[in-house]
Amino acid sequence: MSSQPTRHAWVIERLRSRMRAQGSGSDRGGVESTEAANQPPPLNLTDEGITDHVHSLGQGLREYAARCLGNDAATLTLVAQLEDELSRGLTLFGKDNVEGLARDEGALMGLEAIVVADGTRPSYLICKDQVRTDSSWCVNKDWASFLEQCQAELSKAIQCVGRIDLGGSDPQGPSQGLGTGFLVQRDLAITNRHVLQQLPQWRGQRWEPTPHTRAWLDFGQEHEGQERVRRREVIGIAYTGIDPIDPRQIDHHKLDLALLELAPPTADESPPCWLGIDSRGEDVRQCSEVLVVGYPIDPGRFRELDLLEKIFARQFGKKRLSPGSFVGGPDLDAATTRHDASTLAGNSGSVVLQMTDTRLAGALHYGGIPRQENWAHILGNCLERPGLRGRTLRQVLEEREVWLV
């Protein structure tokens, strides 16, 4: 893995960078720079300013809770706790008390909240294949305007993204969401190898169906929208990266990618469309704004949820769209890049679309560090990688007539 700053150092540097940018009037660039309203509000570290920041954060979270979380008492209690921690964090930051922040997990969480609440990296819920632009808890007006203008094209891409579920023999029975997959042909979907590894049918190098435990790809699972939509059974594996993946200890040189075979659809299940793959590699890495579509899955099986994640916990497993950008940094691998879209600590297997052409999958999200950075495989740079059966990803995709551009 690449070296990362400590949690408190990352938060403090983000806030200091924000103050430097505000002082110089620098421009963020891209979609977000078209209106001054897209800039984070200046940090005012006077007593009055801290009170205003705390009020703004709390108001935004309460409005989100009212719209999307049922306004329940448990969530409002968590919001009040976060307000207290933000007040303490801003006070310590204003005094440049770095050591105090490093020791105070609560104050640090409050500062993390204000870093991610500036509106530049929202996470929108999907309802009936449409982006709900009122569903981000701190709405960026310019992002919402852009997404509303291209809803028709975005809806086609959204319909290609489904949740990978583990369930029983009854397709209408209860199931557990494990990750995201997206269609690249009628009966073929891409996901992460580490998602595949969670399925009991996967035996390390082969697929062995069991009569009472089945895997599905469900294109619904929306918040206050469609539940089960065109649900298709996963019946095999067309391709997977060679090396097993440990999601707790990421090795960026390993290809965390798998191609799932789906059962042929019934007339009601037939997909209206599927995504092509952008094979241009480095050209994709150089693009600016991107959209991540998928299902943030509860990370609790790997670690304890923190306060911000608990506030959003009722929406884990529901389809979301998150805008962001590819970002630079130390080299990870020729097939890997970073992005800064909000993934709510999950989204394994999500598609990364370029805003300039949402018909094409540019990258595959596979992991990240919560609220710091995320990682994605550039699909065009993965095409010559051999799989378990010795054939390259390109060979398998071309054989299946996947649209490579």
Boundaries of every domain in the chain: 7-118, 121-405
Contact 296, 276 (CB under 8 A): no
Top pLDDT among 307 and 368 is at 368
pLDDT in tens, 220-274: 887 777 777 889 999 999 999 999 999 888 899 999 999 999 999 988 788 899 9
- Res 136: pLDDT: 76
Phi first, then psi, for residue 341 (nearest 5°) are: -65, 150
**Cα-Cα-Cα-Cα dihedral sign, residues 187, 190, 191, 197:** positive
Residue 184 vs residue 108, higher pLDDT? 184
Contact 158, 321 (CB under 8 A): yes
Tokens of 59: 């108001």
User: 33 pLDDT band (50/70/90 cuts)?
Assistant: very low
| Rounded distance between C-alpha atoms, residue 387 and residue 401, angstroms | 18
Owner of token pair 């710091």? 372
What distance in Å separates the CA atoms of residue 68 and residue 316, rounded to the nearest whole number? 12
- pLDDT band for 122, please (50, 70, 90 cuts): confident
Q: Which of 94-103, 300-309, 364-373 has the highest mean pLDDT?
A: 94-103
Residue 290 or residue 114, greater confidence: 290
Could you give the CA distance from residue 70 to residue 78 in angstroms, rounded to a whole number?
A: 14
As a whole number of angstroms, the distance between CA 379 and CA 393 comes to: 10
Q: How far apart are CA 124 and CA 172, in angstroms?
A: 27
Q: State the greatest distance between any 2 C-alpha atoms of the chain, in Å, as a whole number.
A: 65
Statement: residue 215 has pLDDT above 70: yes
Band of the pLDDT at 123, cuts 50, 70, 90? confident
Place of tokens 């035996």: 203
Q: How many CB atoms lie within 10 A of CB 79?
A: 19
Instruction: State the residue for tokens 């600016």.
Output: 288
0.85 exceeded by pTM? no
| Residue 118 pLDDT greater than 90, yes or no | no
Residue 303 has pLDDT above 90, yes or no: no
Site of tokens 């640090």: 108
Give me the architecture of the 121-405 domain, per CATH. Beta Barrel (2.40)
Residue whose token pair is 């990682």: 375
> b vs e for 315-350, b when ≥16 Cβ sit within 10 Å of the residue's Cβ?
bbbbbbbbbbbbeeeeebbebbbbbbbbbbbbbbbb
Question: What crossing angle do the helices spanning 151-158 and 141-149 adopt, rounded to 10°?
Answer: 80
Buried b (16+ CB within 10 A) or exposed e, 119-140: bbbbbbbbbebbbbbebbbbbb
pLDDT at 26: 41
User: With 0-12 CB in 10 A as exposed, 13-18 as middle and 19+ as buried, what is 313?
Assistant: middle
CB atoms within 10 A of CB 184: 23
Distance in angstroms (rounded) separating the CA atoms of residues 377 and 333: 9
pLDDT score of 84 more than 70: yes
pLDDT value at 39 more than 60? no
CA angle 305, 311, 317 (to 5 degrees): 75
Give the pLDDT band (50/70/90) at residue 4: very low
Q: Are 375 and 149 in contact (CB under 8 A)?
A: no
CB 102 within 8 A of CB 1: no
Q: Tokens at residue 118, please?
A: 């500036």
pLDDT tier, 345 (very low <50, low <70, confident <90, very high otherwise) = low
